[in-house]
Amino acid sequence: MSFVEGPVRVRVPATSANLGPGYDALGLALDLHDHLEAEVTDGGLQVEVSGSGAADVPRDERHLVVRAMREAFTLLGVQPPGLALRCDNVLPHSRGLGSSSAAIVAGVVLARGLVAGGELLVSDDELFQLAARMEGHPDNVAPAFFGGFVVSAADGDGFLAVRAAVDPRVSAVVFVPPTGLSTELARGLLPPTVPHRDAAANAASAALLVSALAAHPEHLLVATRDRLHQDYRRPAMPASLELVDALRADGVPAVVSGAGPTVLAFVDGPGLEARCPEGWRAHHLAVDLDGARLV
């Protein structure tokens, strides 16, 4: 087994999970990307990072992309003598836009790309399964890998991911606050049980959301109603939920993106960026239909 000569480059999109009622099941890829490059060397590990998180992430084997690459190389049955990795991070860290899933997906795709004939040795599904196991849940990993709008679920010891249609009129504005929130903290605020009526309401909303995104965006406001997780997390991100409440009161289908604190609003054109709170950043983004791909 041999490695390709020269660097391999990948771009991987931001993702927004949950989308309101689709807790741990629905995810959407967005047109905002990290760009990474890796090359097999004669020895040692070199990690260069620019952009988001550059001051905080490790530059050794603990780096999440490196960890994902090592796992993928093990799956491929080979480890390179040395590795040089360069990351240009655009996705904000700890903001609910899938930065950790992007790192994992980028790592496994880069590793396969560095092995000659890698796509014949390990399938897309095998790479997705590996990435989802590393992340622990598939809702961000699936759209990061496959692109578009993806419905995912646990299936015994593995995971399922099915792409669903997205109406071409649908885009999103994400409002990104200046400080982050750990997923662990956000998950820790959720109760162990919820009322049956809330679970039933969320099931109905999630089902409607699949149809609304596919062909009926006029129903997105109703389809994005959530009763499982967002209000329970309000103490950790009050400004985010205040923005969600204000937008929804004006008829805008707004939700917390992933575990937060970013807010995502579905739109059919530009203009909502003017609602961005002071100190936050707003991005009007199309749906990314490609997912992670070598460039």
173-189 confidence digits (pLDDT tens): 999 999 999 888 888 99
* pLDDT on residue 258: 96
Q: Phi then psi for 271, rounded to 5 degrees?
A: 125, -30
- 93: annotated binding-site residue? yes
* pLDDT on residue 263: 98
* pLDDT on residue 132: 97
* pLDDT on residue 179: 93
* Distances, alpha carbon 79 to alpha carbons 66, 72, 269, in Å: 12, 9, 47
What region, left, alpha or beta, does residue 98 occupy, with left being phi > 0 and alpha being psi -120 to 50 degrees? left
| Token couple for 208 | 């409607």
Residue 127 and residue 279: Cα distance in Å, rounded? 38
**Domains of the chain, start order:** 8-164+290-294 (3.30.230.10), 171-285 (3.30.70.890)
Strand order from edge to edge, sheet including 254-256: 254-256, 263-267, 171-176, 281-285
- 191: annotated binding-site residue? no
- 100: annotated binding-site residue? yes
- 234: annotated binding-site residue? no
- 62: annotated binding-site residue? no
* Distances, alpha carbon 42 to alpha carbons 2, 70, 85, in Å: 13, 16, 14
* pTM of the complete model: 0.96
Q: Count CB-CB contacts under 10 A for residue 179.
A: 10
- 96: annotated binding-site residue? yes
Q: Are 220 and 253 in contact (CB under 8 A)?
A: yes
Name residues whose C-beta falls within 8 Å of residue 10's C-beta, 6 or more positions apart in sequence: 35, 36, 37, 106, 109, 110, 113, 292, 293, 294, 295
Name residues whose C-beta falls within 8 Å of residue 29's C-beta, 6 or more positions apart in sequence: 13, 14, 15, 143, 144, 146, 147, 148, 149, 150, 287, 288, 289, 290, 291
- 98: annotated binding-site residue? yes
* pLDDT on residue 270: 87
Mean pLDDT, the chain cut into blocks of 10 residues (295 residues total): 94 98 97 98 97 93 98 97 98 96 98 97 97 96 98 93 97 96 90 96 97 98 97 96 98 97 95 96 98 96
- 282: annotated binding-site residue? no
pLDDT tens digits, one per residue of 5-15? 999 999 999 99
Q: Which of 73, 75, 47 is nearest to 61 (CA)?
A: 47
- 21: annotated binding-site residue? no
